[in-house]
């Protein structure tokens, strides 16, 4: 074989190999698509549309202001914020219970003076293990206009067994209004992220709320300084969030343009917990109205969304509503979390050993 003949043979073989590589095959007008991207898409659950919201009714709702719900992992405890009579301050945290997910909700009970104060105590959210309750409060002695606090309990089934709240401190809390906490525990990395909203504009302004995030490693470490989440924030009012348990979908209240009312529910997604969030998309006119719709809380299975609204036909100022959706395809993300977590920890441990050696 001559030198030139050998050269053209190599070119032909290389071209043949490239043509057979499925990860470089064109995929419509967007061009190449990798096997890894296909795997990410296959991990994503597909959902049906959200149903028309229904009110939680007069047992849960009152003629007063009922808002900012939180739902327990088992779906049997619904925490709400309310200024109904029987509380200890302006807005208090209450809890409604039910025997099973098919039973109706019972009358809300006040969490009592251990948790609630003489001022506003607002926007509860639960850690996935049910042992920690985060919320914000305007009680004196904090770092800002309002601070984020955490209360703990030993028995995760005892909704009235919460201990004295602890301020998360001035590393997390800014000198401004810190509100609406949401907790996400990433099983793959062991990192816990606290999402919350901060108002940086002067008191009395309707604008200036942005979404921030603070992280820590593990369950009991200290949270770091919060950083702005620019993908979720706008020049308008961006407040309460609710995140799906795999960390790939987040709901938020926002008054940005393009909505149905003066504040709407929006949703953002990401391919992995290491990726940035997508531009939020409005949930549309089935869920949102021309009124105020906000304060989302997502069930552990991702199929039920609770929120508050002052739409016509309610019992009071804000009422609590619920909408549901159907999962059309299962996700492998949650099921594989244990495997991913072990893999990450092995890699992390190996890296630490390498650095120490």
Q: Mean per-residue pLDDT for 2-11?
A: 41
The residue with tokens 């630490």 is: 352
308 occurs within a structural domain: yes
Alpha carbon distance 281, 266 (integer Å): 5
Q: What is the CATH number of the domain that holds 129?
A: 2.120.10.30
The answer to whether 92 and 112 are in contact (CB under 8 A) is no
What is the per-residue pLDDT across 105-141, written as a single tens digit (0 to 9) for each? 999 999 999 999 999 999 999 999 999 999 999 999 9
Tokens standing for 60?
């849960």
Alpha carbon distance 59, 61 (integer Å): 6
46 occurs within a structural domain: no
Alpha carbon distance 217, 212 (integer Å): 17
The whole-angstrom distance between residue 265's C-alpha and the CA centroid of its chain comes to: 12
Bigger pLDDT: 350 vs 316:
316
Number of domains within the chain: 1
Alpha carbon distance 164, 275 (integer Å): 36
139 occurs within a structural domain: yes
Helices (H), the chain: 3-20, 35-43, 337-356
241 occurs within a structural domain: yes
Question: Distance between terminal CA atoms of the chain?
Answer: 53
The DSSP string of 184-248 is EE-TTT-EEEEEEEEE-SPTT-S--EEEEEEEEESSSSPP---EE-TTT--SS-EEEEEE-TTSS
Structural domain span for residue 113: 53-337
Percent of the chain with pLDDT over 70: 78
Average pLDDT of the residues of the chain: 85
25 occurs within a structural domain: no
Please report which confidence band the pLDDT of residue 32 belongs to, taking 50, 70 and 90 as the band edges. Answer: very low
CB atoms within 10 A of CB 33: 16
Is residue 300 scored above 80 in pLDDT?
yes
What is the per-residue pLDDT across 199-210, written as a single tens digit (0 to 9) for each? 986 666 556 899
Tokens standing for 63?
């003629």
Alpha carbon distance 103, 60 (integer Å): 13
What is the per-residue pLDDT across 53-100, written as a single tens digit (0 to 9) for each? 999 999 999 999 999 999 999 999 999 999 999 999 999 999 999 999
Closest to 211 measured CA to CA, from 271, 128, 290, 268: 268
Q: What is the pTM of this model?
A: 0.81
Looking at the DSSP assignment, which residues form a beta bridge with residue 212? 196, 228
Tokens standing for 38?
């296909």
218 occurs within a structural domain: yes
Look at residue 299 in the predicted model and tell me its pLDDT.
Answer: 98
The residue with tokens 């609406």 is: 180
């Amino acid at each position: 074989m001559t030198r030139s003949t050998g050269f053209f043979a190599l070119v032909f073989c290389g071209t043949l190999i490239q043509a057979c590589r499925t990860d470089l095959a064109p995929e419509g007008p967007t061009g190449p698509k990798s096997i890894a991207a296909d795997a990410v898409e296959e991990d994503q659950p597909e959902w049906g549309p959200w149903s028309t919201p229904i009110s939680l009714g007069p047992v849960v709702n009152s003629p007063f202001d009922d808002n900012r719900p939180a739902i327990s992992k088992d779906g049997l405890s619904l925490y709400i914020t309310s200024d109904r009579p029987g509380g200890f301050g302006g807005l208090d945290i209450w809890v409604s219970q039910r025997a099973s997910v098919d039973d109706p909700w019972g009358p809300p009970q006040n969490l009592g003076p251990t948790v609630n104060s003489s001022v506003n105590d607002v926007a509860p959210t639960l850690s996935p293990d049910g042992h920690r309750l985060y919320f914000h409060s305007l009680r004196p002695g904090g770092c800002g206009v309002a601070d984020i606090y955490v209360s703990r309990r030993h028995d995760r089934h005892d909704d009235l067994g919460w201990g004295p709240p602890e301020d998360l401190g001035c590393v997390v809390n800014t000198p401004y209004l810190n509100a609406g906490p949401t907790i996400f525990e990433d099983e793959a990395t062991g990192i816990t992220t606290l999402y919350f909203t901060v108002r940086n504009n002067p008191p009395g302004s309707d604008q200036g709320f942005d979404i921030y995030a603070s992280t820590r490693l593990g369950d009991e470490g200290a949270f770091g300084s919060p950083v702005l989440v620019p993908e979720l924030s706008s020049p308008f009012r961006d407040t309460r969030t609710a995140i799906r348990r795999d960390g790939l979908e987040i709901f938020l209240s926002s008054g940005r343009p393009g909505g149905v009312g003066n504040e709407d529910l929006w949703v953002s997604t990401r391919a992995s917990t290491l990726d940035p969030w997508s531009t939020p998309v409005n949930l549309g006119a089935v869920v949102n109205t021309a009124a105020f719709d906000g304060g989302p809380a997502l069930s552990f299975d991702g199929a039920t969304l609770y929120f508050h609204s002052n739409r016509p036909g309610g019992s009071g100022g804000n009422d609590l509503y619920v909408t549901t959706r159907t999962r059309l395809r299962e996700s492998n993300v949650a099921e594989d979390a244990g495997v991913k977590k072990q893999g990450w920890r092995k890699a992390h441990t190996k890296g630490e050993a390498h650095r120490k050696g």
